[in-house]
Amino acid sequence: MISINNISKDYHTGDTVVHALKKVSFEISQGEFLSIAGPSGSGKTTLLNILGCIDSFDTGIYSFEGEEIAGKTRKELARFRRENVGFIFQTFNLIPVLTAFENVSFALSLLQVDERDLKARTMSILDEVGLTGMEHRRPTELSGGQQQRVAIARALVKDPKIVLADEPTANLDSANGKAILDLMRTLNRKYRTTYLFSTHDPMVMDFASRLVSLHDGEIVEDVRRN
Amino acid sequence: MKFILSLALKNLTRYRRRTIITSIAIAAGLSIFIMLDALLLGMEQESERNIIWYETASAKIMTAENFEHMEFLSLKYPIDNPEKITSLLNDQGFRSTTRITFGAELLVYEDPFPADGSTQVKIAAVDPESDGDVYRFTEIIEKGKFLQKGEEGILLGSWLAEDLQADVGYPVTLLTRSRDGYYQTIDLEVTGIFNCPNPYVNRATALIPLETADYYLQMEGGVTEIAVSLPSSADPAEEAAAINQLLQQQGNPENAALGVYTWQELAYDYLQFAAAKQGGSKVILFLVFIIAAVGISNTMLMAVYERIRELGMMRALGMDDGKLRAAFILEAGGIGFIGSVFGVLIGSILTWYFVRRGIDFTFMMRDMDLGYRVAGVMYGTWNVWTIITAFIAGIVISMIIAVFPTRKVVRMEVADALHHQ
């Protein structure tokens, strides 16, 4: 489904050049529950950003379902993300003035889904993540775990081909973190949506069916588990 | 679009205090704009009215030479047979009156005046019977009475009388030159004092009977001008052209030397000055707008920078840059709308006050020359067009200003925006 070949990315800070990714290559199949692990500065977030088309790469080839990403305009990339990618962020990134329902339906409104369908799909996914009855609450009226559930619902409501999660449990306590991972895995099995999440937490890595380890911008390990 | 609109509205309440403060800045700017415009327009309209009623009439028939040398108040270029023209005008339904306008030195002597002295004045020798058909001096007599046919006398402007400490019954002497250029003195008694709302007239103009001037200045029936009154709805230029055509068709060869001059031509200097003042006033109004614009700009800048991560998230989810911009522009438009509503409301209340009550500038106008022909209370005038323009401008300018800070965020890489601290 996803193929990246010799992807490199450098960051320039004045005269200093940081090699964030060095000729990284791997493939991801549909339905995988994949963890990208590594210490801080290993290139996890950069790789995730490139896969989510929110950051550019310097060299290499990235193709998504056979379609090359390089060369797409900003507008095309926005459309690509809108239709194919769901994001879950470490800090949830919910819009504080909107209710849980509105935060989730935001992703659908970008796809111009009709009102009735939008309502039904949003309520259904909120039910799926265990937030029935909380749809009218604003983020400040929800716990951290509940906010991340809203973020998961927002990522999944549009039925994306891939969900990218950047350290999704980093801001949660271990019980909530485990619950979120359980939920993500359940949904992954149910809908066969591909999940890719970055982490440096061993507990989180244990949940993954495949573990890709990065170190200094290079893949040092790629392990599949049953 | 519905979502963007809903988000923009919700963001307005998100930073309630900031929205209120910025709206107040816009409201203050707009209300000052509306109020100043109403006052300026009121002053201009009143000035124009006071010029027509007390200085130039709607139009004047004069010889071309007299028009050219108008500022010298010369008697050298009179209209010698004004009766033929006034009767023609009357036949055609135009109200007119004849006048001799000249300059003189007004001399006063101790007892009854407190001291000897003199001052330069403009004298309008008027026909007491027909002057009221064109000018409004009969309505502004403060003391004594208006000039009467067959009686000698002089009417002084109230500020002129105040400066001289003159009163009704006091004798004055006019020193001037006759039509032929000889010195002539005219002794007259003050028979009335008028309080003219036109400061130029009230400060340095006196009226005497036309017969008196005709006799002492040896005008032999000649006058310097025939003043014509036109309805306020008439176009002076069109009417002047029609009168001119009448004069030329009369078959009198003397009429070929005459011209019909509108009040705009006669008060050309004032109109130039008013246009310059308008320019200056617009600069002030522009500055008021700039202050309001800076307020909006600052608010939107803060709103955008505080929400960079949120905007990054929206873009990551696939929101188009155009829609993102639209959300901020609508938010700014919302602030502009609130500010405009209150600005128009406060501006209208202030305008209402100035239209009804006015503002008394007598203390200032008495000793200062602001150029406007308004002596005391200045009234505002409703200008619906300005109110509509201000309302729309408040919203549109707010929206335009929001474009710049939003553009910067939209140019950022999504990943940078998401990790912005």
Q: Please, which residues have CB within 8 angstroms of residue B191's CB and are 6 or more apart in sequence?
A: B144, B145, B147, B151, B153, B154, B155, B168
Poorest-pLDDT segment among A172-186, B131-145, B195-209, B277-291: B277-291
Residue of higher predicted confidence among B233 and B49: B49
| Tally of CB atoms within 10 A around B395 | 20
**What's the domain count of chain B?**
2
- Asked if the structure places residue B167 within a domain, the reply is yes
**What is the per-residue pLDDT for B384?**
93
**Dist. CA B185–CA B345, nearest whole Å:** 60
**What is the per-residue pLDDT for B290?**
81
Residue B30 and residue B111 share a domain: no
Provide the angle, in degrees to the nearest 10, between the axes of the packed helices B384-411 and B268-306: 40
The chain A residue lying nearest B309, using CA atoms, is: A93
* pTM over the 0.80 mark: no
- Asked if the structure places residue B249 within a domain, the reply is no
Residue B317 and residue B223 share a domain: no
Domain ranges, residue B304: 2-52+270-418
Diameter of chain B by CA atoms? 97
The chain B residue lying nearest A46, using CA atoms, is: B415
pLDDT surpassing 70 at residue A226: no
Q: How far is CA B128 from CA B138, B158, B174, in A?
A: 9, 19, 19
**What is the per-residue pLDDT for A21?**
93
CB-based contact, A134 to chain B, within 8 Å: no
Residue B131 and residue B28 share a domain: no
Q: How far is CA B29 from CA B22, B36, B49, B293, B296, in A?
A: 11, 11, 30, 9, 12
**Domain C-terminal end among B208, B229, B250:** B229
**What is the per-residue pLDDT for A100?**
95
Residues in chain A: 226
B315 contacts in chain A (CB < 8 Å): 54, 78
Residue B381 and residue B293 share a domain: yes
Residue B71 and residue B28 share a domain: no
**Beta-bridge partners for B172:** B188
Residue B387 and residue B357 share a domain: yes
Peptide bond into B128 cis (omega under 30): no
- Asked if the structure places residue B151 within a domain, the reply is yes
**Dist. CA B45–CA B391, nearest whole Å:** 24
Cβ contact A81–B318 (<8 Å): yes
**What is the per-residue pLDDT for B232?**
81
Cβ contact B10–A56 (<8 Å): no
**Dist. CA B25–CA B293, nearest whole Å:** 9
Q: Please, which residues have CB within 8 angstroms of residue B222's CB and are 6 or more apart in sequence?
A: B78, B79, B80, B82, B100, B179, B214
- Asked if the structure places residue B92 within a domain, the reply is yes
**Dist. CA B364–CA B370, nearest whole Å:** 9
Residue B297 and residue B198 share a domain: no
Residue B31 and residue B69 share a domain: no
CB-based contact, A110 to chain B, within 8 Å: yes
Residue B34 and residue B159 share a domain: no
Per CATH, the architecture of A30-48+74-224 is what? 3-Layer(aba) Sandwich (3.40)
- Asked if the structure places residue B183 within a domain, the reply is yes
Q: Please, which residues have CB within 8 angstroms of residue A149's CB and are 6 or more apart in sequence?
A: A129, A130, A131, A180, A183
pLDDT surpassing 80 at residue A219: yes
Per residue in B336-393, pLDDT tens?
999 999 999 999 999 999 999 988 877 777 777 777 888 778 889 999 998 998 899 8
**Dist. CA B164–CA A190, nearest whole Å:** 105
- Asked if the structure places residue B411 within a domain, the reply is yes
Poorest-pLDDT segment among A74-83, B44-53, B289-298: B289-298
